[in-house]
Amino acid sequence: MPAFQRDRPDTGTGYTVVDAQGTEIYIPHKPKRILAGNLSYDTMLLGLTTADHLAAVNQLDRDPMSSFIAEDAKSVKMTVRSLTGLPLETVMKSRPDVIIVPDWTSRNDIDMFRSLGYPVVVGKGPNSMEDVRQDILLMGKVLGEEERSRKVIAEMDRQMEEIDAVMNERKEDWPVGLLVSQMTSWGGPGSIFDELTTKARVKNGIAEAGLINGQELTKESVLKADPDFFLVSAYPNGNMSSFQKEWFHDPALQHMKGIHRIVPLPNRYLYCASQNMPYAIKAVANAGYGPVFDLSDEHLIRGY
């Protein structure tokens, strides 16, 4: 029998999955309590199962500006504050049947959780829509809900076909949009945000400045990109954060054309790495071209 089985009687209903790192993980029974390593994974899981199967959710899952699952998440009592990992205390208190984490999770944490007897499945830390698809398929195997995972991907693909059909009709040059984020080294080629802009037919201003993901966005690189518009995180009542106010009040930026077109979008779009990527792409396209897509039917893409 593969490693990483908890010390419990085998009911005979167990099965084995192979995670993104090629590790065989034995799941003793269909999980009833699932603990995930980040917001995106919580969202993917709720496309495959109901909220009562989640042992905990990230605290930002309850924020509708940051999350597509805010209403579902309210019914889950335990929350995780960290954005970069799972505290041992949370694992011990929630006692999940299985833990699912992205591949950027600390190796020490993975080994520790496994040493305690928890099945730990490692997925891809999604940097592309294909990564998201692979994670959803893996979660479908872990949960014993493979048909649901295929339905989620089919709906993603259906919406992407609609997006491509609409955007292929547009013949104008792609506008340049530049993300202004407090994560000043994120958003370039190699990030999922770059894929959102590409699929929305918007040139990523960070790429236009000659940067890749992980390189610092400077005011000099912003001037080089000369964006047609800026993307920023939306805040309640249309207010700007203190960071945004300071950033956009820089005298060096005042002559740029993009300074007159600052488009606030909820973080659930800007940092989307889940099955709801089609909605994020539609939102970015609307930011660049105007109201191309109707987002009034937005909902969590589910397989059930």
Pick from 128, 288, 293: which is nearest to 201 by CA?
288
Rg (C-alpha) for the chain, rounded Å, is 21
Per DSSP bridges, beta strands 24-27 and 15-18 are antiparallel
Task: Compute CA 299 distance to the chain's CA centroid, rounded to the nearest angstrom.
Answer: 15
Asked if the domains at 15-157 and 176-289 fall in one CATH topology, the answer is yes
pLDDT tens by residue, the chain, 304 residues: 334 444 555 567 899 999 999 999 999 999 999 999 799 999 999 999 999 999 999 999 999 999 999 999 999 999 998 888 899 999 999 999 999 999 999 999 999 999 999 999 999 999 999 999 999 999 999 999 999 999 999 999 999 999 999 999 999 999 999 999 999 999 999 999 999 999 999 999 999 999 999 999 999 999 999 999 999 999 988 889 999 999 999 999 999 999 999 999 999 999 999 999 999 999 999 999 999 999 999 999 999 9
Candidate CATH numbers 3.90.600.10, 3.60.10.10, 3.40.50.1980, 3.30.70.1560; the one for domain 176-289:
3.40.50.1980
Q: What are phi and psi of 79, to 5 degrees?
A: -125, 155
Per DSSP bridges, beta strands 34-36 and 57-58 are unpaired
Token pair belonging to 228? 């047609």
Q: How confident is the model at residue 85, as a pLDDT?
A: 86
Hey, where are the domains in the chain? Answer: 15-157, 176-289
Candidate CATH numbers 3.40.50.880, 3.40.50.1980, 3.20.20.120, 3.60.10.10; the one for domain 15-157:
3.40.50.1980
Q: How far, in Å, CA of 255 to CA of 230, rounded?
A: 14
